């Protein structure tokens, strides 16, 4: 059954209806609002099961662990600017097929992560060429992640 933004069922009308979220094993997770559900579906990270339920196509708990591992590996230091890192940046952006695996994640401060957006890591590195404290380490990590991404896509 296809559900579109234009044809919302009555059960979903009203202010911020809650959508049931289930994981890959069928376990119920914390419900989310309709906008969040659409965002997950549009990013191909979830599918509609019925009018009020989405099923995630990834394990959100693994991503949390991967995120923590990437931050710890990079000593909670932004690899773009050297400040304290609170987020992770995808080397190959999720919107361009990048994975959530640790080898595709870099510790990043919120400002650098936001400024980069979904641009290529290499182009952003060139913009900041003389400002990046870990220039060689970052080049190596970007190259390795790009190589892994190409190898993964070649096998599909």
Q: With beta carbons less than 8 A apart as the criterion, state whether 80 and 132 touch.
A: yes
Classify each residue of 40-60 as buried b or exposed e, where b means 16 or more C-beta atoms within 10 Å of its C-beta. Answer: bbeeeebebeeebbbbeeeee
Give the strand order in the sheet containing 18-22: 32-33, 18-22, 53-56, 46-50
Q: What CA–CA distance (Å, rounded) separates 37 from 77?
A: 32
pLDDT digits (tens, 9 = 90+) for 64-123: 899 999 999 999 999 888 899 999 999 988 878 788 888 899 999 999 999 998 888 888
Sign of CA dihedral 16, 20, 46, 6: negative
Q: Is the pTM of this model over 0.95?
A: no
pLDDT digits (tens, 9 = 90+) for 38-72: 988 887 789 999 989 999 988 888 888 999 999 99
DSSP 8-state class, residue 5:
T
Strands 46-50 and 32-33: unpaired
């Amino acid at each position: 059954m296809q559900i579109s933004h234009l044809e919302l069922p009555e059960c979903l009308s009203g202010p911020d209806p809650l959508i049931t979220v289930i994981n890959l094993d069928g376990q119920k997770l914390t419900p989310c609002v309709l906008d969040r559900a659409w965002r997950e579906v549009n990013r191909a990270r979830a599918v509609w099961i019925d009018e009020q339920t989405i099923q995630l196509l990834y394990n959100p708990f693994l991503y949390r662990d991967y995120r923590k591992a990437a931050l710890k590996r990079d000593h909670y230091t932004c690899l773009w600017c050297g400040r304290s890192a609170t987020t992770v940046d995808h080397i190959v952006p999720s919107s361009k097929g990048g994975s959530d695996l640790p080898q595709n994640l870099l510790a990043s401060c919120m400002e650098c992560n936001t400024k980069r957006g979904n641009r290529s890591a290499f182009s952003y590195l060139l913009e900041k060429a003389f400002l990046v404290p870990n220039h060689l380490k970052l080049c190596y990590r970007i190259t390795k992640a790009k190589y892994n991404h190409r190898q993964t896509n070649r096998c599909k």
